Amino acid sequence: MYGVIRNLLFRLPPEQAHAVALNGLDLAHRLRVLGAFSPKTEALPVNVMGLDFPNPVGLAAGLDKNADHVDALGALGFGFIEVGTVTPLPQPGNPKPRMFRLPEHQAIINRMGFNNEGLAHMLERVDKRSYRGILGINVGKNKDTPNDESESDYRKGIAAVYDRADYITVNVSSPNTPGLRDLQFGDSLKGLLHAIKDEQRKCESHLGRYVPVAVKIAPDMDDEGIRFVASALKEAGIDGVIATNTTISRDAVVGHVHAAEAGGLSGAPVREASLRVIQGLYAELGDDLPIIGVGGITDGESAAEKIRAGAKLVQLYTGFIYRGPTLIGEAVETIRTQG
């Protein structure tokens, strides 16, 4: 059934299809017919970052930037939902068109640019949710905030969502905010990580609750860069790392009509790059700091291989768009038998 729905949606421009699909999920959830589109996902409990996940397959940030569709998405069988990226102030993102499908490659290129309604809107939506599963909130900086002032935006984001989130993700790896990825390297990364940890401690002291913080990194790192990030994360006492975001490489889609479009490439072409980063991180971190694997998961095997490489959890995005809710249960079952 999802294949028919997807073919109809793919006749629409990508952003319009995205909105129609999410609004359709909301309607199906309200009418209590969502089960017809979503096979039941069997439990596969796992404890990561001190949290009990019903299964290790989650939804990556980006699909529901404003937490407008948490209840419907949470009813599909995901082990956890991550919303965002949210910035302190609302921003429109980059000019349209800014999303492109590459069906031959099960891939998407996007240059959305952290388009979102801001913290105030998200907090209102989160407060109204009925979903009580694990909720991660992904925070970023506004486009017009200079990198040398980015610490302030991340502190605002962490402080605002701390009492609503089960875990918080700090996004320093989107290629669609100018200069953002520079925060992944050298003293910039170390300074930011220590500021993040400081804000986490302040919030814990104020609210009497410890909320783990993960950092999301890019796949476009060499081995030295991976080792540096791993060391910096451990030194700062960060709770987890999400590997990886989208790639700026186009090697896997050379010749495609959209290959020259600016933005981040996601989907099947990121599978190997993401896996390489996970393997490199695990070689440095072992089980001391949990890895959440994301990028190129299009079937059960590509989910399980990330677990075998050292990830404790995985997240879906582009594969979910191409495969639909069936992918969730398939990934869980393959991890159960092969992960």
**DSSP labels for 272-327?**
HHHHHHHHHHHHHHTTSS-EEEES---SHHHHHHHHHTT-SEEEESHHHHHH-THH
Cα distance between residue 292 and residue 305, in whole Å:
12
Spell 223-252 as b/e; 16+ CB within 10 A means b.
eebbebbbebbeebebbbbbbbbbbeebeb
CA angle 140, 10, 264 (to 5 degrees): 30
Q: What residues does 265 pair with on adjacent strands?
A: 109, 247
For residue 101, what is the DSSP state?
E
Pairing of strands 213-217, 167-171: parallel
* Beta partners for residue 102, in sequence order: 107
Catalytic residue at 173? no
Rounded to 5 degrees, φ, ψ at 241 are -135, 135
Catalytic member of 174, 266, 274, 302? 174
- Which tokens hold the place of 79? 């082990």
Contact indicator for 285, 312 with CB cutoff of 8 Å: no
For residue 27, give both structure tokens.
Answer: 């309607």
- Specify whether the CB–CB gap between 279 and 308 falls below 8 A: no
If you compute the radius of gyration of the chain from its CA atoms, what whole number of angstroms results? Answer: 18
Active site residues: 174
